[in-house]
Structure 1
């Protein structure tokens, strides 16, 4: 059948429509558009239908479903949005996490170039622990990206690579600059060491949270929403964020630096936005109506404050 595909402005994307089998899938439609417009590869496409009665948002055509699931026929009209150039999630995550490891290590290892106007002094144990923890954390994130996390989408806008790397690499340089400064005054190792040990426990808890979350998705990353259960998820919707923040708070106290405090403040603010949205989404989906489960009462991210 010939299916009409229009842009958000209402202009027909492919003159005369695209050919797709009536029993085909959403992927078949995406491929048909790609054949007609080679620039618009499938991951750049967002296909929608008009909003259903009582809803303001258009219905997004999900990969893996048949066109017939949406009652699409030759008289239907599908709206197209170009998401722009895309890049793989794993690629973005690798570079945004690899950068901080490299940047921090270079500032730690090459003080004669970073602080040329200061006399180079031997590193103290707190600076060594800070390097070890920082490197461990981001190495863990890289390994989780490839071995643990399952993504619902394969790609994201390529601009995210620049934005995310700017944030992570920039803060790595900022934090490392002050912790490794020749004039840095470290807290007593007797106070710092237990804090770093606690931070490592938080990283272990964060890792287990990620394992539990990965089990909620199929290997392809597809599937509907599921109520997270087990461990700290029985009490906190975004338990993984809670553990992450606790770890960095311990790092901040262990290094006693304002730079580390600002880093975790910025990260916590962003995580709070994500956590609030996820909590609201789960409560809306699992509202207890029409035989649906009711989302249990939980803290959003950081009890007893939030």
Structure 2
């Protein structure tokens, strides 16, 4: 892996510049997605239509599309020759990333119960994004990210890592609630209750957004910030769409429940 990347980039400065450009391009894509999502919901799950290609089994789609976000960074780390991977701050940030995608790519797909098929277009976009972002985040953290002495004790790192952990717990718990909405043999949609679902319709989305915002605060880089902003745009749109759908579907839907931010929005 190191030999291949050495052939692609003639110097460390050239690769770092490429990583920076990738981050700025992700910010551009976030802006484009924000505009596009004002007119149409992300085509997945209950919003799936036949316009985005043939359907892919939900469990298979989740496993295959998320796997590069775990496998590519793992390869980068295994074959890494950089001393940055021995720095505590870098190790902790890498651990945050890998913890999320270990759960998302290896555990979550096994727990899916049913689930509507994913349009092949959405599946392919997610697959490409996971390769792109996985390389950008881990290559930067393992080779280029430098932090001041004792950054692990800095308020930004403490607050950011605390947000990451809180978001991860909310996300995993919300997924658990959603999986157990229906008893064996039951079909149809139900109102999710418990945990952060008492406050927002998109508790799972709120958890994941909080994770990556915390990751960006702790990581203090354009690369982690771009990921957090992109995630907020896409998942925030899903939360709003879910909230509107629940309100139209269920007459008894809790009126005090917000879409994404408790008590506010």
After TM superposition, is the score higher than 0.5? Answer: yes
Aligned partner of 2:232 in structure 1 is 268
Does residue 196 of structure 1 match 2:165? no
**How far is 1:167 from its partner?**
1.2
Alignment of 1:1-306 (within 5 A): 84-111=53-80, 120-123=82-85, 124-142=87-105, 143-147=107-111, 149-153=112-116, 155-182=117-144, 184-187=145-148, 188-191=151-154, 192=157, 195-219=160-184, 223-287=187-251, 293-303=252-262, 306=265
Higher relative contact order (CA 8 A, sep 6+): 2
- Looking at structure 1, the residues matched to 124 and 235 of structure 2 have their Cα atoms a distance apart, in angstroms, of 19
Cα distance in 2 for residues equivalent to 1:239 and 1:105: 29
Q: CA–CA distance in 2 between the matches of 1:140 and 1:231?
A: 20
2: CA distance, partners of 1:273 / 1:200: 23
TM-score of the aligned structures, taking structure 2 as reference length: 0.70
User: Higher strand proportion, which one?
Assistant: 1
Partner residue, 2:30: none
1:210-237 alpha-carbon deviations (Å, 9 max, x no partner): 11111113447x6222221111111111
Q: Give the TM-score taking structure 1 as reference length.
A: 0.62
Describe the SS at the equivalent of 1:180.
helix
Counterparts of 1:295 and 1:203, CA distance in 2: 25
Helix, strand or coil for the counterpart of 2:56?
strand
Asked if the contact 2:240/2:259 (under 8 Å) is kept, the reply is yes
Q: Shift of the alpha carbon at 1:300?
A: 0.6
CA contact (8 A) 2:52 2:120 kept: no
Unaligned regions of 5+ residues in structure 1, if any?
1-80, 113-119, 288-292
Larger Rg computed on CA atoms: 1
Task: Decide whether the 8 Å contact of 2:58 with 2:115 is kept in 1.
Answer: no
Q: Secondary structure at the match of 2:83?
A: coil
Give the gaps of 5 or more residues in structure 2: 1-49
- 1:262: how far off? 0.7
Matches of 2:60 and 2:132 in 1, distance apart? 19
Aligned length: 210
